[in-house]
Homo-oligomer: A and B are copies of this chain.
Amino acid sequence: MENKAFIGIDLGGTNMRAALVNTSGSILEQIKVSTEISQGAEQATENLLEMCRRLMERAASGQLQVEAIGMGVAGKIDPQNNVVVFSPNLPAMDNFPLGVRMEEALRIPVTMENDANVYGLGENWVGSAQDLNNWVGLTLGTGVGGALIFNNRLWQGDKLGFSAEVGHLVVEPHGLPCTCGSQGCLETLSSGRALMEGVEEAVKKGKLVGGKLFELWQKDRLTAQEIYFCAKEGDSTSLELFRRMGWALGIAISNMFMLLGIRHAIIGGGVSASWDLFIDPLMKTLQTTNRFLNAEQMTVRKSLLGDDAALLGAARLAWDCQWG
């Protein structure tokens, strides 16, 4: 296996990154360019191919053979037909046979998956979950994504184009409307968007009428990170939003442990940087809700790999598809 390598790609709405990864899970080289999806799917594919060719040359110069390419894409993927079904952040890619086109051009296998699933594969391989067999992953970003790893493999269910849609687990059936069309989904309580909308709601209700958080809102400069900073300075509206985030995560994780008979969760994604503000209410809720496990049996860990989780996981996806 020493002379084999894989390319992992993380295709997002803003940037696309590609990495040459060896079988030990080390990134040998990585390239990042802006996605510029506005130039169309064809141009984006050309840019991706150019990155892959450069990494394949780099591999060859080190006596490595790129066996396959794995790709994490933000959106709904049809892995069997290698097609991006629907991607809110990459609208030009909808129904585009990205994987097929790349395979034709590069003549090596290309596999695609949802970006949260690929994050799970990365953490499982060389991240927080190296010692675990069964666990659930959550990614807290604008929305909430998820990954299920069973017996050290990515769980894909009936291969319907989605699985581990943790963000759309209903936590409060009579709760806030969700972008998916349902109500009270985890994503309406525990995402970057939930934080932003929570501030908006506080302003509308007249509960937030002044102070730094209000000013940020007024100047349209609100971000999840700014809300975090306000909370750290003691702002009560912000603190309550992170408490709610932790509470909802606790209910959802309890339900997943109860259903699956497992006891480990890993949380990643940009908004997981606010860990210190949501982990206490999360653990408290988890322990009072899940009565089948003792407190010390349940672990909730932070992602170790950050942004590299998706790159490494995409490479691992390519490997798993090659070597089953």
Contact = CB atoms under 8 A, between A and B. Distances in A.
A180 interface: yes
Contacts of A170: 251, 254-255, 289
Contacts of A163: 259-261
A160 interface: yes
Given A169-B259, A170-B251, A259-B259, A182 B291 contact: yes
A235 interface: no
A168 interface: yes
Interface stretch (A48-56, A88-96, A150-158, A316-324): A150-158
A17 interface: no
Residue among A148, A169, A259, A289 with max Cβ neighbours from chain B (10 Å): A259
A263 B260 CA distance: 16
B262 A157 contact: yes
A40 interface: no
Q: How many copies, total?
A: 2
A133 interface: yes
Interface in A289-308: 289-293, 297
A203 interface: no
A165 interface: yes
Contacts of A183: 289
Contacts of A27: none
A41 to B, nearest CB: 24
A262 B173 contact: no
Contact of A258 (B133, B159, B168): B168
A291 B165 CA distance: 11
Interface in A160-197: 160, 162-166, 168-173, 180-183
A290 B180 CA distance: 9
Interface of A: 133-134, 146, 148, 150, 155-160, 162-166, 168-173, 180-183, 251, 254-256, 258-263, 288-293, 297
